[in-house]
Structure 1
Amino acid sequence: MSLSVIVITRNEARHIDACLASLAFADEWVVLDSGSTDGTRDIAAARGARVVTTSDWPGFGPQKNRALEAATGEWVFSIDADERVTPELAHQIRAAMAAPAGPAAYTVSRLSSFCGVWMRHGDWYPDHVLRLFRRGQARFTDDLVHEHVAASGPVGHLDGHLLHESMPSLESCLDKMNRYSSGRALDRHRAGKTGGLGAALTHGVWAFLRSYVLRRGFLDGRMGFVVAVSVAEGTYYRYLKMWLLDRAAVEAAAPPAA
Structure 2
Amino acid sequence: MAELSAPKQKLSALIITYNEMGYIEKCIESVSFADEILVVDSYSTDGTFEYLQNHPKVRVLQNPFENFTAQKSFTLKQASNDWILFVDADEIVTDELQAEIISTINDQKACEAYWFYRKFMFKNEPLHFSGWQTDKNHRLFRKSKAKFTDKKIVHETLEVDGNSCILKEKLVHYCYKNYEDYKGKMLKYGQLKAKEAFYKEKQFNYFLMVFKPLWKFFNHYVLRLGFLDGKKGMIVSYLNALGVLERYRELKRLEKKNELAYYLVMP
TM-score between both structures, scaled by the size of structure 1: 0.92
Q: Does residue 1:8 correspond to 2:16, yes or no?
A: yes
* Residue number among 67, 75, 79 corresponding to 1:67 in the alignment: 75
Residue type at the aligned position of 1:32: V
How many residue pairs get aligned? The number is 257
Q: More displaced, 87-96 or 127-136?
A: 87-96
Q: Does residue 1:138 correspond to 2:139, yes or no?
A: no
Query: Conserved in 2, the CA contact under 8 Å of 1:106 and 1:157?
Result: yes
* Residue number among 66, 89, 100 corresponding to 1:92 in the alignment: 100
Q: Does residue 1:117 correspond to 2:125, yes or no?
A: yes
Residue type at the aligned position of 2:97: L
User: Post-superposition shift, 1:227?
Assistant: 1.3
Residue type at the aligned position of 2:162: G
Change (3 A) 1:256 1:140: closer
Aligned with 2:31: secondary structure? Answer: coil
Aligned with 1:100: secondary structure? Answer: coil
Runs of 5+ unmatched residues, structure 2:
1-8
Q: Deviations over 1:145-201 (max 9, x none)?
A: 322322222210001121111221111122112222111111111111222221011
* Residue number among 159, 182, 189 corresponding to 2:191 in the alignment: 182
Q: Return the alpha-carbon distance in structure 2 between the equivalents of residues 115 and 7 of structure 1.
A: 21
Q: Deviations over 1:12-53 (max 9, x none)?
A: 222222111111211101111221233323433424111112
Q: More displaced, 137-146 or 171-180?
A: 137-146
User: Post-superposition shift, 1:97?
Assistant: 0.5
Aligned with 1:111: secondary structure? Answer: strand
* Residue number among 24, 27, 33 corresponding to 1:25 in the alignment: 33
Q: Return the alpha-carbon distance in structure 1 between the equivalents of residues 56 and 147 of structure 2.
A: 26
Q: More displaced, 30-39 or 168-177?
A: 30-39
Query: Conserved in 2, the CA contact under 8 Å of 1:17 and 1:47?
Result: no
User: Post-superposition shift, 1:250?
Assistant: 3.0
User: Post-superposition shift, 1:141?
Assistant: 3.1
Q: More displaced, 188-197 or 248-257?
A: 248-257
Q: Return the alpha-carbon distance in structure 2 between the equivalents of residues 255 and 104 of structure 1.
A: 51
Q: Return the alpha-carbon distance in structure 2 between the equivalents of residues 227 and 60 of structure 1.
A: 22
Q: Return the alpha-carbon distance in structure 1 between the equivalents of residues 19 and 266 of structure 2.
A: 47
Residue of structure 2 in register with 1:234 after alignment = 243
Query: Conserved in 2, the CA contact under 8 Å of 1:89 and 1:161?
Result: yes
Query: Conserved in 2, the CA contact under 8 Å of 1:195 and 1:241?
Result: no
Query: Conserved in 2, the CA contact under 8 Å of 1:108 and 1:162?
Result: yes
Q: Deviations over 1:103-158 (max 9, x none)?
A: 10001011222344321112222320110001121122344332232222221000
Residue of structure 2 in register with 1:223 after alignment = 232
Q: Does residue 1:36 correspond to 2:7, yes or no?
A: no
Residue of structure 1 in register with 2:3 after alignment = none
Query: Conserved in 2, the CA contact under 8 Å of 1:197 and 1:243?
Result: no
Q: Return the alpha-carbon distance in structure 2 between the equivalents of residues 233 and 58 of structure 1.
A: 23
Query: Conserved in 2, the CA contact under 8 Å of 1:204 and 1:235?
Result: yes
Q: Return the alpha-carbon distance in structure 2 between the equivalents of residues 39 and 225 of structure 1.
A: 33
User: Post-superposition shift, 1:256?
Assistant: 7.9
User: Post-superposition shift, 1:257?
Assistant: 9.4
Residue of structure 1 in register with 2:256 after alignment = 247
Residue of structure 2 in register with 1:53 after alignment = 62
Q: Return the alpha-carbon distance in structure 2 between the equivalents of residues 240 and 164 of structure 1.
A: 28
Query: Conserved in 1, the CA contact under 8 Å of 2:32 and 2:57?
Result: no
